[in-house]
Amino acid sequence: MGKIGFLFSGQGAQTIGMGEDLFKNREECKNVFESGENLLNMDILNKMFNGDEETLKKTSIAQPAIVLTSLAAAEALKNEGIECDYSCGLSLGEYTALIHSRVISFEDGIKLVKERGRIMEEAGIKVKGKMAAVLKLKEDKVEELVNRCKEFGIIEVANYNCPGQIVIGGESDPIDKSIEIAKELGGMAIPLKVSGAFHTSLLKEASEEFYNYIEKVKFNEIDEKIYSNLKGNLYVKEDNIKNTLKNHMIKSVYFEKIIRDMISKGVDTFIEIGPGKTLTGFVKKIDRKVKILNVYDIESLNNCMKNIKQI
């Protein structure tokens, strides 16, 4: 059997009802959700299971909700005897990976994610920014697109997701301009429904504020099987993880590079853990030969276990 890579969901994957099936049917998942709600000191479960899309979409709600759902699903997998050889997350998902691997304690991790969500939501209100997904253009063409739009304001590459999809972020004018210039270059830029220009320098002030919370958190030794979005490679013991997470908020996410490195290290089965199937889609575009599974409810958990046993 080859190696297993866990992929933890990022913001945008949230949906009403996520995690409810796991909560009702698995005691270990229920414990994760209830412990998390107590630490957050908010009625997060009601918002997740019975709330409305607009509320759940708020960064301050979505981030802890997604992390809790992902950790609960990972706990169910652990109870079935499934662990990973390597793990990563898309943006927010990196925090799930760090909590799951006990680099950060569950208590500290949940509280840290709550502050991250709050700070990023406030930054989105204070510093108006936009993001757009650039499709059908290679990296060099996206760089050309960004360079041509810089005269209109701040614009940067935020996410290198997979071949044919790179996300850009920045001020409104250059992002609006990028939509017409992308067409000239043979691609297209689609505005994203997000509350700010995440993973760009527009969040520099927010990252400084967030660092005040990171500084107080105790980080255990890295076990060198977790990938850093910022590096596009594995964390190593020598890394200054607090600085890395501070810069994580304002720098590009190298998701495609991470997946390619996982595959080069022998990962042939990826399990996307948490709501949505966004990361599954990215991995398919990177390499169709690998096996991709999902765990977000009881049915997908059972399907995952069935497939794992067949490998």
Q: What is the pLDDT of residues 25-52, one digit of tens each?
A: 999 999 999 999 999 999 999 999 999 9
Q: Quick one: which of 194, 164, 196 has its CA closest to 182? A: 164
pLDDT for 214: 97
Q: Name the β-bridge partners of 291.
A: 269
In terms of phi and psi (left: phi > 0; alpha: psi -120 to 50; beta: otherwise), the region of 142 is alpha
Please say whether the beta carbons of 19 and 68 come within 8 A: yes
Domain 128-191 has CATH 1.10.10.10: no
Q: What is the pLDDT of residues 215-237, one digit of tens each?
A: 999 999 998 999 999 999 999 99
CATH 3.30.70.250 residue ranges of the chain are 128-191
Q: 158: helix, coil or strand?
A: strand
Domain 3-125+201-310 has CATH 3.20.20.20: no
Cα–Cα distance, 311 to 301 (Å, whole number): 16
Q: Which of 76-105 are b and which e, b meaning 16 or more Cβ less than 10 Å from the residue's Cβ?
A: bbeeeebebebbbbbbbbbbbbbbbbebbe
CATH 3.40.366.10 residue ranges of the chain are 3-125+201-310
Q: What is the pLDDT of residues 100-121, one digit of tens each?
A: 999 999 999 999 999 999 999 9
> Which residue of the set 9, 91, 195, 252 is catalytic?
91
Q: Name the β-bridge partners of 78.
A: none
Q: What is the pLDDT of residues 132-162, one digit of tens each?
A: 999 999 999 999 999 999 999 999 999 999 9
Q: What is the pLDDT of residues 269-307, one digit of tens each?
A: 999 999 999 999 999 999 999 999 999 999 999 999 999
Is 199 one of the annotated active-site residues of the chain? yes
> Which residue of the set 9, 87, 199, 228 is catalytic?
199
What pTM did the predictor assign? Answer: 0.96
311 pLDDT tier (thresholds 50, 70, 90): low
Measure the CA angle with vertex 164, ends 286 and 84; round to 5°: 30
